[in-house]
Amino acid sequence: MLTVDFSRFPLAPGDRVLDLGCGAGRHAFECYRRGAQVVALDRNAEEIREVAKWFAAMKEAGEAPEGATATAMEGDALRLPFPDESFDVVIISEVMEHIPDDKGVLAEMVRVLRPGGRIAVTVPRYGPEKVCWSLSDAYHEVEGGHIRIYKADELLGKIREAGLRPYGTHHAHALHSPYWWLKCAFGVDNDKALPVRAYHKLLVWDIMKKPLATRVAEQALNPLIGKSFVAYATKPHLPAAALGGTARTQTDAS
């Protein structure tokens, strides 16, 4: 289940991609399949071990094209272990709402992104997330849980302040909002409640089968109750004056 829409966020074979806070690796796996040189980074050592196993299995099964590479590593989003301008693409999906210093994370992403590179940021959408917070304290008052709810303008403002240029937004996963509302209403850790179990089966069926009816329904509902807000931006090239007078020009590849 991808939150980033790669038709709006083009990825070329050979692109150097950082999936920051990769979690279980869903976006990293898709980038690997598309021929990228992927680094999946997360602070959770157990998840990183699992992602590394899946990368190895994908390579063995021939799921990645020639030239694609994939590395899974443990690391800190506020102190990325990479030189400046190391990546063509950075993805950070459902991570920033967990981190107190979100501006620091954005600064690190901008540092490691090359000029002309692209970034995708996804966070829980304000409306559906506000419902979850209203229904359940346990949903967000946990160690490592959500510490803020972004409004779209607020997130885009922080992206611009970091020196990036947003070029597109959308919402995703409308069918997942009611599931989380049910979870919050019946108890976040209560998977036995009949409405929760029934809706979970629906979501699994939808993810596995991708039937036309639910695809159309989700597309129609995304602008209204999409669970995630997704923003895309580019890192502009520095004007010549900002380069200290150096006679250096670049072509914008964004």
Residue 46 belongs to some domain of the structure: no
pLDDT in tens, 40-74: 999 999 999 999 999 999 999 999 999 999 999 99
The residues that bridge with 231 in the sheet, in sequence order, are: 121, 169
Domain that holds residue 85: 76-235
Residue 14 belongs to some domain of the structure: no
pLDDT of 244: 41
Residue 171 belongs to some domain of the structure: yes
pLDDT in tens, 91-113: 999 999 999 999 999 999 999 99
Closest CA to 184 of 130, 126, 125, 122: 130
Residue 1 belongs to some domain of the structure: no
Listed in sequence order, the residues at least 6 apart from 157 whose beta carbon sits closer than 8 Å to its beta carbon are none
Residue 47 belongs to some domain of the structure: no
The domain that holds 94 is classified in CATH as 3.40.50.150
Tell me which of 116-125, 135-144, 236-245 is least confident.
236-245
- CA distances (Å), 121 to each of 89, 128, 209, 215, 243, in order? 11, 18, 27, 23, 28
pTM: 0.91
pLDDT of 239: 56
Listed in sequence order, the residues at least 6 apart from 42 whose beta carbon sits closer than 8 Å to its beta carbon are 21, 22, 23, 48, 51, 74, 75
Report how many domains make up the chain.
Answer: 1
**Stretch 166-192: mean pLDDT:** 96
pLDDT of 254: 34
Question: What φ, ψ does residue 87 adopt, rounded to 5°?
Answer: -130, 150
